[in-house]
């Protein structure tokens, strides 16, 4: 008997017992669909996490430098390490886009009749913002914009000379410029910050997109040279941010910067920590992979149950077709032909279940992706191929015993069976 005949006989047997075949297929496709959906959703969750981390800056290195030297008034007497860190990172400009201190100032900003001290806001019943929010006041280096995906649309950016000369200048975010100056050009205007005059030298472009259109606060900022903290108050910067051109270089840059700081900072005077969002992302991915394996293992139990069901059905089929097997053996059919016939039938049953399971699993992945992450998630190609292969393999694996049992029937005994 050739393979084509085996498939024809298998299909005739499956079609002849529709009810039983449907129930058998059901046990397989539920397991396949569950495994596919779980794997796809976990892949979608990883993609969603990567997207969120990318929005926060997955190519960023966070540096924390602390000092153990304080005076009796609680003032930090540590050294300003930023110039050294700045020069070192600039020497790695092939890999690094920028470096800046990260810090915030608590001050009152005024221009004309507008002052942040009187700004208040609330939400109306429809969720719209009423009033102006006071801007957040940041200090940074001339590379602050590189580290925060900002670009100048008017005037100029901060310069290193502004740091060295303690220039009283600032750059406004798009929303802050709108709040204080409306449609007028802010460049060249002088604002008062805690009573000190600061010239506006530039305006950053808006970072709003369709996805974050209601988050205007991300542009409501004013950036000062980090050295102006001496005028406006504040301790030495302890947090820094480095932006790497290629996120694949994160680990190497962490190692290099850590080695540089180890030689720079006296451990008796303080310490440091260098880390990246990518490290947390890798940890999250590992955790999600473990969760996916556990959930996939639970779903795979249903496949095991379905496989046992296949074996049971095939044993019933062997019993029902004992006389047929006896006749075929009596007229010269080889044992290998009998084995092939039943393995093909078991494989077809599970293969049909696999196809239905892939269809249901794909639909489930799309629906859950939209509901959970607002993303369209399609099962990876390898998952689809693996699911179909697994379903057929299950049929063959659990069909081996019934097939071998059928091939061992003696023709005389088989012909006597009712």
* Mean pLDDT across 394-416: 80
Most distant CA pair in the chain, distance: 110
Which pLDDT band holds residue 240 (cuts at 50, 70, 90)?
A: very high
Percent residues over pLDDT 70 in the chain: 85
The reported pLDDT for the residue numbered 128 is 55
Helix (H) or strand (E) holding 321: none
The reported pLDDT for the residue numbered 213 is 47
- Measured CA to CA, the distance from residue 24 to residue 31 in angstroms comes to 12
- Measured CA to CA, the distance from residue 141 to residue 159 in angstroms comes to 8
Residue labelled with tokens 């249903």: 302
Give strand ranges (E) for 253-331. 270-276
| DSSP code, position 119 | -
Q: What is the pLDDT of residues 180-237, one digit of tens each?
A: 999 999 999 999 999 999 999 999 999 876 555 455 678 899 999 999 888 887 677 8
Percent residues over pLDDT 90 in the chain: 29
State yes or no: pLDDT of 143 exceeds 90: yes
The reported pLDDT for the residue numbered 57 is 55
Residue labelled with tokens 């590379």: 143
Domain ranges (residues) in the chain: 3-51+283-416, 123-134+153-234
State yes or no: pLDDT of 305 exceeds 90: no
- Measured CA to CA, the distance from residue 201 to residue 21 in angstroms comes to 77
Work out the mean pLDDT of the chain and round it to a whole number. 82
Are 323 and 417 spatial neighbours (Cβ–Cβ below 8 Å)?
yes
Which pLDDT band holds residue 239 (cuts at 50, 70, 90)?
A: very high
* Mean pLDDT across 381-406: 85
The reported pLDDT for the residue numbered 187 is 96
Are 116 and 134 spatial neighbours (Cβ–Cβ below 8 Å)?
yes
Give strand ranges (E) for 40-193. 60-67, 96-101, 103-105, 109-111, 114-115, 121-123, 129-131, 136-140, 152-155, 169-172, 190-193
Q: What is the pLDDT of residues 104-131, one digit of tens each?
A: 888 999 999 899 988 866 555 555 555 5
Exposure of 378 in the CB half-sphere (CA atoms within 13 A): 4
Are 57 and 242 spatial neighbours (Cβ–Cβ below 8 Å)?
no
Residue labelled with tokens 């310490």: 271
Name the least confident of 44-58, 65-79, 227-241: 44-58
């Amino acid at each position: 008997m050739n393979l084509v005949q085996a498939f024809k006989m298998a299909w005739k047997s499956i079609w002849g017992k529709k009810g039983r075949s449907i129930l058998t297929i059901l046990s397989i496709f539920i397991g396949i669909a569950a495994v596919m959906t779980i794997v796809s959703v976990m892949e979608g969750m990883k993609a969603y996490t990567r997207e969120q981390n990318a929005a926060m800056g997955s190519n960023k290195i966070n540096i924390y430098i602390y000092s153990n030297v304080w005076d009796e008034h609680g003032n930090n007497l540590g050294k300003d390490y930023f110039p050294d860190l700045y020069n070192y990172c600039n020497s790695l400009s092939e890999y690094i886009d920028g470096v800046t201190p990260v810090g915030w100032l608590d001050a009152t900003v005024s221009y004309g009749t507008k002052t942040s001290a009187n700004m208040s806001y609330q939400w109306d019943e429809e969720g719209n913002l009423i009033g102006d929010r006071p801007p957040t006041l940041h200090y940074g280096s001339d590379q602050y914009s590189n580290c925060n995906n900002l670009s100048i649309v008017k005037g100029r950016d901060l310069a290193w000379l502004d740091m060295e000369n303690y220039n009283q200048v600032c750059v406004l975010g798009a929303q802050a410029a709108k709040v204080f100056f409306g449609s007028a050009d802010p460049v060249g205007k002088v604002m008062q910050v805690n009573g000190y005059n600061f010239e506006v030298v530039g305006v950053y472009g808006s970072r709003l997109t369709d996805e974050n259109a209601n988050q205007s606060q991300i542009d409501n900022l004013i950036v000062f040279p980090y050295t102006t903290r001496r005028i406006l108050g504040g301790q030495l910067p302890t947090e820094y941010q480095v932006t790497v051109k290629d996120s694949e270089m994160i680990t190497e840059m962490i190692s290099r910067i850590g080695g540089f700081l180890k030689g720079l900072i006296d451990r008796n005077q303080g310490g440091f920590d260098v880390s990246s969002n990518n490290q947390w992302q890798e940890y999250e991915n590992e955790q999600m992979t473990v969760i996916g394996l556990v959930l996939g293992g639970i779903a795979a139990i249903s496949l095991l149950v379905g496989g046992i069901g296949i074996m049971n059905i095939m044993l019933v089929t062997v019993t029902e077709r004992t006389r047929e097997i006896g006749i075929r053996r009596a007229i010269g059919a080889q044992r290998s032909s009998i084995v092939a016939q039943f393995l093909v039938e078991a494989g077809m049953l599970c293969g049909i279940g696999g196809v239905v399971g892939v269809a249901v699993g794909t639909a489930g992945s799309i629906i859950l992706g939209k509901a959970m992450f607002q993303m369209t998630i399609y099962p990876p190609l390898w998952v689809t191929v693996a699911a179909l292969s697994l379903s057929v393999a299950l049929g063959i694996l659990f069909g081996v015993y019934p097939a071998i049992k059928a091939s061992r029937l003696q023709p005389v005994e088989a012909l006597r069976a009712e």
